Amino acid sequence: MKVMLSKKPAVATALLMMLSLYILLNMIVFVNATKPPESPTVYIDGSGSVELIWKSGKSQIYYSNASPKLGGLDTIAIAPNHGWHIYVVLIDGVPQDILDEDGFSLIIVCAKDTISVAFLENGGVDDVDLGFNTEAYPDPHVGLIFDNVLADGFVYACTAEFQPPNAEGDSWDVMTDAIFDQSVMIILVLNLADLDGSDPTALRLLRTENDLARADVNSDGYIDGTDVSIVANANPSEIGDPNYDPRLDQNSDGVIHDDDVNIVNDFVGESVWEDITLQVIVDNDLVYVYGLTDRFSIFGVTRRE
């Protein structure tokens, strides 16, 4: 006698397995739909900012390491502070092409783990690009804005030995090989704490030429008979002599003689420092002193008398 086995239990088991799989898949979809999108961690080394812009339209600027709690990242905008440039950018450990060291954006970013940005100081030199309102920051304390650059080049800044009377902070010898038309805005940056509580709006930005500053041997801001006499008293002398002073050696040839006396005498009656101040802005712990010039040489900040 044959025993017929019913197919109903097998069918029921298969249907149950399909139902279980359907429920599991829906649970996975639900979990993925409800858990927040992964958000990156931001690491910043140096002086600059990283702005994150999410698909929702929300944005936030970070100046130091941060761990945002919002996912769905869309854009990253990177900007160095004055006198710094972008050195390296890593997205999830992958180096990115730096299109512009002075700041750029990365569009449609799907970073899940880390955004790492390193900024470096410019070290006294920055590039000057073609165009209008071109900015250059060769040092964190020196900024320039060119009205119109006709031929690109570089701008250099180093601390100068020549200081205006009652100088505040360092003075700067600024040079450029870029060709420009019209004017250039000079920005010198001071630390507010260095002003010892005095009124920062009383600061003035001054400029002079190298030859004028050198001829003002007593550093009083004017070239007169006193300066001539000081150089004449060291005439003649050369390197190694007790009377030799390199500051009095006007043409820097290692000898103080009649030529040096004549150079100073030609400048008698000149006022050394020219006030080019536009405005003074205080922002947190920094003081920005702005001035306008059409040529380069030595720039310094002093108190208004």
CA distances from 147 to 89, 114, 135, 150 (A): 31, 39, 9, 10
**pLDDT value, residue 132:** 96
Residue 185 sits in the same domain as residue 250: yes
Bridge partners (DSSP) of residue 115 are 42, 91
Per-residue pLDDT tens over the stretch 55-96: 999 999 999 999 998 888 999 999 999 899 999 999 998 999
Give me Rg for the CA atoms of the chain.
33
CB 178 within 8 A of CB 128: yes
Is beta strand 41-45 parallel, antiparallel or unpaired with respect to 114-121? parallel
- Alpha helices by DSSP H, the chain: 8-34, 210-215, 225-233, 258-266
Q: Which of 147, 213, 153 is nearest to 185 (CA)?
A: 147
Q: Residues 199-221: pLDDT tens digits?
A: 999 999 999 999 999 999 999 99
Per-residue pLDDT at 37 exceeds 80:
no
Same-domain pairing of 157 and 298: yes
Domain co-membership, 230 together with 107: no
Q: How confident is the model at residue 112 (pLDDT cuts 50, 70, 90)?
A: confident
CATH number, residue 184: 2.60.220
In a shared domain, residues 137 and 286: yes
Do 235 and 188 belong to one domain? yes
Residues in a beta bridge with 143? 187
Q: Are residues 161 and 220 in the same domain?
A: yes
- Does one domain contain both 71 and 197? no
Is 35 a domain residue?
no
> What tokens were used for 302?
């002093």
Which of 101, 121, 141 marks a domain boundary? 121
Are residues 295 and 172 part of one domain? Answer: yes
Last residue of a domain, one of 82, 101, 121: 121
Number of domains in the chain: 2
Pick 24 or 237 by higher pLDDT.
Answer: 237
Structure tokens at 269: 């009656």
Domain encompassing residue 155: 125-303
Token digits of residue 155: 């701008």
Let me know if residue 2 belongs to a domain.
Answer: no
In a domain, 269, yes or no: yes
